[in-house]
Every structure is written in structure tokens, then in C-alpha cells.
Amino acid sequence: MKQHFLSDLAVMLGRSMHHIFRSMDTIITVTLMPIAMMLLFVYVFGGAIKTGAANYVNYLLPGILLIAITSGISYTAYRLFIDMQRGIFERFYSMPIARSTVLWGHVLTSLVSNAISVIIIMLVALIMGFRSSAGLGAWLAVAGILALFTLALTWIAVIAGLSAKSVDGASAFSYPILFLPFISSAFVPTASMPGPVRAFAENQPVTSIVDTIRALLNRQTVGNDIWVALVWCLGIAVVAYALAMLVYKRKTA
């Protein structure tokens, strides 16, 4: 049974990845906006923003990576919606496959495509002066947190893709999530914010994730931020996965 699931998953993943690589404009679009934002903040606003960091791109990069991932997962919702509209799911169900692999193929494709975007953005950041003294363990921890963050948001995207009534509705869900990094420690320290805004910024998931990644890349003390970040990512992933599977079963009943 396990081998059957894995072989079906490989087919679904291959199909989704084929669509991604056949239309690279998806990755290009997702990558260009965060890069443009990084250039804008570093070279236009960076001199006026006081973060205490010697190099603003080092401070900014974690938030830019989260923005890129948040932008990227909207395409998962879009592709799921299109598959539903075109009756692709029904065609798959007429075959002897594990039904959950249809969703997992899209989810793993999101992981791969967002990883490509993250790597491209980090290469641009290196050209802009980003430097890290982090060891292998810290880099692996950063990769793990970004993967968990991607998984959590992708399962939210799955819910949107299965539930939407239109193409615009399938991707519009990401706009409120995309706004969260701007009210966090991604661009400026939360200490510079007015009271109510600061309280929200310090207690929403993006701040703990950004602070954890920033500390890991700069070999600083992580503290409790990493546990808060993991609880947020895992909690959102578990709840979103459960809701996504519930919606999926209702749609395919």
C-alpha cells in the first residue's frame, strides 16, 4: 500500500512539476517582486532605517524570503482551482490511484518551486552584500523552518483552491497573509512601533519566524523564538491540513 501511494505521488508530483518548468514565468513572477522590494528597501530606504545591524540586507532578507513564499503559494490555489474547473480530478478518480496524492502533488510542487525562488533571492542578496557566518546546522535549521512555513501556507492555499468560486478568489486569500510581514520585525524593529501595533507585531507568527532565521544566519542567540516559530508553523500546518482534507472529501464525495 505504501509503495502504491509513493508511486502515485511521484506521478502527481511529476505532472505538477512539468507544468511549473513548462511555464517558468510563475517562478520569475514570484521572484521578481521580492527582489525589487529588497532593492528598494536596501538602496532607497535603508539609509533612513535604524535597525542596529551593520548591514541592512542581512536584517531584511528573512522577511523578504517569507514574502516570496507567501506570494508563491497563491499559485497552488490557482492551479488547484483550474484542475477542479477542468474536471481533471474526476479523470484521476477514474484511475486506480490514491486520491490524496492529487493534493500532495500540488503541495510538494509548492515546496520545490518556492525553494527555487528562495535560492534565487539569496543569490541576489549575496550580490547586494549579504553575508552569513552561520554553520551547516544553522543553515539546515533555516531551511527546515522555511519548508515548514511553506507547508503551512500551502495547505491554506489548498483550502482556498478547493473552496473558491472564481480564479480571482482562489488567489486573493494570500493578500491578508502577504500583509503580515509589513507589521512585524521584518523591516524594522518592533520597538519603534506604537503600542497597539507593536503588541500585534510581537505576537503574530511572522515576527518569531523572522527573528529566528535572522538569529540563525547571524550566529546570534535564538532563545525562545525558535520554539514559538515552530509551534506557529506546525500548528497552522496541522489545522490547515485537517481542514483541507475535510473540504477535499466533501468536494469529491
Residues near 61 by Cβ (< 8 Å), separated by ≥ 6? 38, 121, 122, 125, 130, 214, 217
The pLDDT tens digits for 188-208 are 998 888 989 999 999 999 999
Share above pLDDT 90 across residues of the chain, in percent, rounded to a whole number = 43
Q: Sign of torsion, CA 131 133 137 142?
A: negative
Give yes or no for residue 110 having a pLDDT over 60.
Answer: yes
Helix axes 56-72, 136-163, angle to 10 degrees: 30
Supply 36's cell numbers: 525589487
CA distance 82 to 166: 9
**153 pLDDT band (50/70/90 cuts)?**
very high
The pLDDT tens digits for 9-63 are 677 777 777 777 776 777 788 889 999 999 999 988 877 777 777 788 999 999 9
Tell me the average pLDDT across 229-233. Answer: 95
The most confident of the ranges 3-7, 76-80, 107-111 is: 107-111
Give yes or no for residue 124 having a pLDDT over 90.
Answer: yes
